[in-house]
């Protein structure tokens, strides 16, 4: 497939003769944005988005009308007002994380922060979805369900690749090991059991289903099952993954880490001071989170859409109907056409918008996708990341283990295949700082 030079300049590459990935800011609006009246949308690629285990549509895979219905049903559960009401639940799990880290710090053994973040986000999302924690922080280990989710990404990618070749997929799907198919159903059955248990209990505290029922939502139990699985997987990974990446990049940029710790510890001297509302006011924390998303987005590749049958313009160039298009997160966020010094971790680029980084195309950063189908749990992810990171850095100084110096060199299976992020944790004691300051003053006087 020959492409005009003006378009080829901006391509990440054609992964098949019909799939074009574009790393331009305008691509988000052209591909994923709202369509003008009468114009068809760029539909999701069915081979990229596998069907749910029970065949029902969910908020990710749904057609336009069903997605709109789901969005209306669940949006109330993820708005800022509802999430602020869940702040005590969020802090409850974060406090468990801090206790775990404190216990491990006392032992002097290295702590896998990537795993601890996973424990925390899965427990939080399960509590929000089922009104019951998975107990990962209590047991300090994965249960069978979460372990299966974490290990399932490789299988998902292989199946996606095979689906691009229909005849080959038809043949191979007949000889797939039975345990693979059974494993997929077992994953889904965990979500079904927990939803059913939650519905049998009735409303005991505010969660997704309680908020949904307050809106008198028209949604079937089967649709609840399909969506619950999505909430657990997507709602956990979109937080744990960028948290792990952000922690690594802070540890490998010590000046940035010190500046962030200073901001957090000054604004939030006690754990009671760490609130959703107060953390939203911390400009450097926000800049670090944005830069963390730029370097280590929850998704690396772009969500594939299909150009409408009659064709459409994308980034000023005509695309024939049926062409697969996407915005690849990693490439878009590391392109020198979009960011100055793109491979450096520089949170200041999100604050100093008139200086060296004035030409940065900040609007290209859309880690939760764009417009009507962006991730519904975006606000939750930002709140979790800020509260978890601020709580950790308020209590501890972290040092990266030498064997994790190149932790960011990883394989990718839809999401990053995160290896252990081993850190030494040193409890931060304000009292020690006061003593040091006093001794320093004595030395100056003498």
The whole-angstrom separation of Cα 324 and Cα 21 is 8
Q: Which residues pair with 283 in a beta bridge?
A: none
- Note the pLDDT of residue 215: 66
277: its two tokens: 């509302």
What stretch of H or E contains 427? strand 422-427
Helices 378-395 and 254-267: crossing angle in degrees, nearest 10, is: 90
Q: 216: pLDDT confidence band, cut at 50, 70 and 90?
A: low
Other C-beta atoms within 10 Å of 270: how many?
8
Task: Provide, rounded to the nearest whole percent, the portion of the chain with pLDDT above 70.
Answer: 91
pLDDT tens, 9-21?
Answer: 444 444 445 789 9
394: its two tokens: 């308020």
Query: What domain range includes position 22?
Result: 5-445
Determine the average pLDDT of the residues in 308-322.
Answer: 95
Question: Residue 438 pLDDT > 90, yes or no?
Answer: no
What 3-state class would DSSP assign to 32?
helix
pLDDT tens, 34-82?
Answer: 988 778 999 998 877 777 888 899 999 899 899 999 998 888 888 888 8
Does the model's pTM come out above 0.85? yes
3: its two tokens: 């492409």
Q: Of the candidates 62, 30, 22, which has an alpha carbon nearest to the alpha carbon of residue 46?
A: 62
Question: Residue 159 pLDDT > 90, yes or no?
Answer: no
Q: Which residues pair with 399 in a beta bridge?
A: 424
Contacts of 405 (CB under 8 A, 6+ apart): 252
337: its two tokens: 């056409």
Q: What is the mean pLDDT of the chain?
A: 87
Q: Bigger pLDDT: 310 or 415? A: 310
DSSP-assigned states of every residue in 227-272: HHHHHHHHHHHHHHHHHHHHHHHHHTSHHHHHHHHHHHHHH-SSGG
- Note the pLDDT of residue 217: 64
Q: Bigger pLDDT: 143 or 286? A: 286
- Note the pLDDT of residue 14: 47
What 3-state class would DSSP assign to 81?
helix
> Residue 395 CA to chain centroid, in angstroms?
24
Would you say 423 is a known binding-site residue? no
Place of tokens 């999430």: 83
What 3-state class would DSSP assign to 392?
helix
What size, in residues, is the chain?
Answer: 446
- Note the pLDDT of residue 158: 73
Question: Residue 8 pLDDT > 50, yes or no?
Answer: no
The CATH code of the domain that includes 253 is 1.10.630.10
What 3-state class would DSSP assign to 116?
helix
Q: 149: pLDDT confidence band, cut at 50, 70 and 90?
A: confident
Q: Which residues pair with 197 in a beta bridge?
A: none
Q: Bigger pLDDT: 52 or 248? A: 248
Place of tokens 């609130």: 275
What stretch of H or E contains 312? strand 312-314
Q: Of the candidates 330, 368, 297, which has an alpha carbon nearest to the alpha carbon of residue 32?
A: 368
Q: Of the candidates 287, 282, 292, 278, which has an alpha carbon nearest to the alpha carbon of residue 348?
A: 287
Least confident of 37-41, 121-125, 424-428: 37-41
Longest dimension (CA), the chain: 85
Half-sphere exposure of 191 (CA within 13 A, CB side): 26
User: Contact 330/336 with Cβ under 8 angstroms?
Assistant: no
The whole-angstrom separation of Cα 129 and Cα 199 is 11
Q: Of the candidates 44, 79, 39, which has an alpha carbon nearest to the alpha carbon of residue 62?
A: 44
- Note the pLDDT of residue 174: 80
Please state, in angstroms and as integers, the Cα–Cα distance from residue 227 to each residue in 23, 146, 195, 384, following that order.
Answer: 30, 17, 10, 21
The whole-angstrom separation of Cα 270 and Cα 266 is 9
Domain count, the chain: 1
CA angle 369-293-335, nearest 5°? 85
Least confident of 72-86, 87-101, 222-236, 432-446: 432-446
Alpha helices, DSSP H, located in 252-347: 254-267, 276-279, 283-295, 329-333
């Amino acid at each position: 497939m020959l492409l005009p030079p003006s378009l080829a300049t901006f391509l990440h590459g054609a992964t098949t003769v019909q799939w074009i990935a574009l790393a331009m800011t305008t691509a988000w609006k052209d591909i994923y944005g709202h369509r003008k009246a009468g114009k068809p949308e760029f539909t999701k690629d069915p081979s990229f988005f596998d069907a749910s285990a029970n065949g029902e549509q969910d908020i990710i895979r749904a057609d336009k009308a069903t997605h709109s219905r789901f969005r209306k049903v669940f949006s109330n559960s993820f708005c800022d007002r509802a999430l602020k009401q869940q702040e005590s639940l969020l802090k409850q799990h974060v406090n468990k994380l801090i206790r775990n880290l404190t216990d491990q710090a006392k032992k002097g053994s290295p702590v896998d922060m990537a795993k601890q973040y996973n424990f925390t986000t899965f427990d939080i999302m399960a509590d929000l979805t089922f009104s019951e924690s998975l107990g990962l922080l209590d047991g300090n280990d994965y249960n069978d369900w979460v372990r299966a989710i974490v290990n399932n990404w490789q299988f998902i990618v292989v199946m996606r690749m095979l689906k691009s070749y229909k005849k080959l997929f038809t043949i191979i799907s007949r000889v797939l090991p039975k345990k693979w198919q059974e494993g997929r159903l077992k994953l889904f059955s965990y979500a079904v059991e927990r939803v059913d248990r939650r519905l049998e209990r009735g409303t005991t505290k505010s969660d997704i289903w309680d908020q949904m029922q307050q809106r008198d939502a028209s949604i079937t139990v089967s649709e609840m099952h399909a969506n619950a699985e999505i909430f657990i997987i997507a709602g956990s990974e979109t937080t744990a993954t960028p948290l792990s990446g952000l922690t690594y990049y802070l540890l490998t940029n010590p000046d940035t880490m010190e500046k962030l710790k200073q901001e957090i510890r000054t604004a939030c001297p006690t754990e009671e001071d760490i609130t959703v509302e107060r953390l939203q006011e911390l400009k450097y924390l926000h800049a670090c989170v944005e830069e963390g998303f730029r370097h280590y987005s929850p998704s690396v590749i772009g969500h594939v859409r299909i150009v409408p049958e009659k064709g459409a313009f994308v980034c000023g160039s005509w695309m024939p109907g049926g062409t697969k298009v996407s915005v690849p997160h990693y490439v878009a966020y590391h392109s020198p056409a979009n960011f100055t010094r793109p491979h450096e971790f520089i949170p200041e680029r999100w604050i100093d918008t008139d200086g060296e980084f004035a030409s940065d195309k900040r609007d290209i950063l859309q880690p939760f996708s764009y417009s009507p189908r962006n991730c519904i749990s975006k606000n939750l992810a930002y709140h979790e990341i800020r509260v978890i990171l601020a709580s950790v850095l308020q209590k501890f100084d972290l040092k990266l283990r030498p064997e994790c110096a190149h932790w960011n060199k990883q394989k990718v299976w839809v999401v990053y295949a995160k290896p252990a992020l081993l850190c030494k944790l040193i409890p931060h004691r304000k009292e020690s700082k006061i003593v040091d300051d006093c001794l320093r003053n004595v030395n100056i006087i003498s």
